[in-house]
Structure 1
Amino acid sequence: MKNIITKLYYGNIDPQARGFKKDSYLQKQMSILSKSEAVLTDKLDGEVKKAFLSFVNASNVILGESELDSFIVGFRLGARFIYDTFVDSTVPYKDFLREVNNES
């Protein structure tokens, strides 16, 4: 089995290759969103349509950047947990059992 870095390098890991579960709440909301956008796009014209499409595009950019930020923050938090678990050995109390075992 290849390690995770090799898998990532060759594109064998795609955490975003996911979809909504059939008939889930989110799938229904996505359907409402898509249908509403289509209706509004068809009904609007001129400057109002242009403004609406600019709004939709800007919202998508902001959402994408927000998702990226959340991913980075979450990844860094996970890395800190790993560091604290395997590298950092500072604790608020003295480990008397370790001292007893080391003395024998």
Structure 2
Amino acid sequence: MKNIIEELFYGNIDTQARGFKKDSYLQKQIMIMSNSEEILTERLKGDDKKTFLSFVNASGIVLGESELDSFIVGFRLGARFIYDTFVDNITPYDDFLKEVNNEG
């Protein structure tokens, strides 16, 4: 495997390339949302339709920003785990075996 940073740079890593499992609960809920939006968009007129579409668009923006925030926070948490695993060696107890191995 190539360097992960290089893979990311060239667009070979796509975290969005995912789909729903067929007939899953989530897929059914998304279909309900989609069908409801379509029905309401067809039935509503004038200001009601404009208000509903503004709500739908704003909801999409809020959801997108929330997903971005979760991604950033999760990425940073993962980086902290990596740092603590490979760089930071602070622990509540001293490692006596390490001292013995270094002396001998």
Range of TM-score over shorter length: over 0.9
Match of 1:59 in 2: 59
| Residue matched to 1:49 | 49
TM-score by length of 1: 0.96
Q: Counterpart of 2:31?
A: 31
SS in 2 for 1:92: coil
Counterpart of 1:16 in structure 2 is 16
CA RMSD of aligned residues (A): 0.8
Where has structure 1 moved over 2 Å in runs of 4 or more? none
Q: Counterparts of 1:5 and 1:54 in 2: how far apart (Å)? A: 38
Counterpart position of 1:69: 69
SS in 2 for 1:14: coil
TM-score by length of 2: 0.96
Instruction: Tell me how far apart the structure 1 counterparts of residues 36 and 44 of structure 2 sit (CA, whole Å).
Output: 12
Structure 2 gap segments, 5+ residues each: none
3-state SS of the aligned residue for 2:49?
helix
Q: Report the alpha carbon displacement of residue 66 of structure 1 after superposing the two structures with TM.
A: 0.4
Q: Once the two structures are aligned, what percentage of the paired residues are identical?
A: 76
The structural deviation recorded for 1:56 is 0.5
Counterpart Cα distance in 2 of 1:2 and 1:93: 38
CA shift for structure 1 position 101: 1.6
CA distance in 1, matches of 2:48, 2:33: 19
Using the TM superposition, give the Cα deviation of residue 102 of structure 1 relative to its aligned residue in structure 2, in angstroms.
1.6
Secondary structure of the 1:20 match is coil
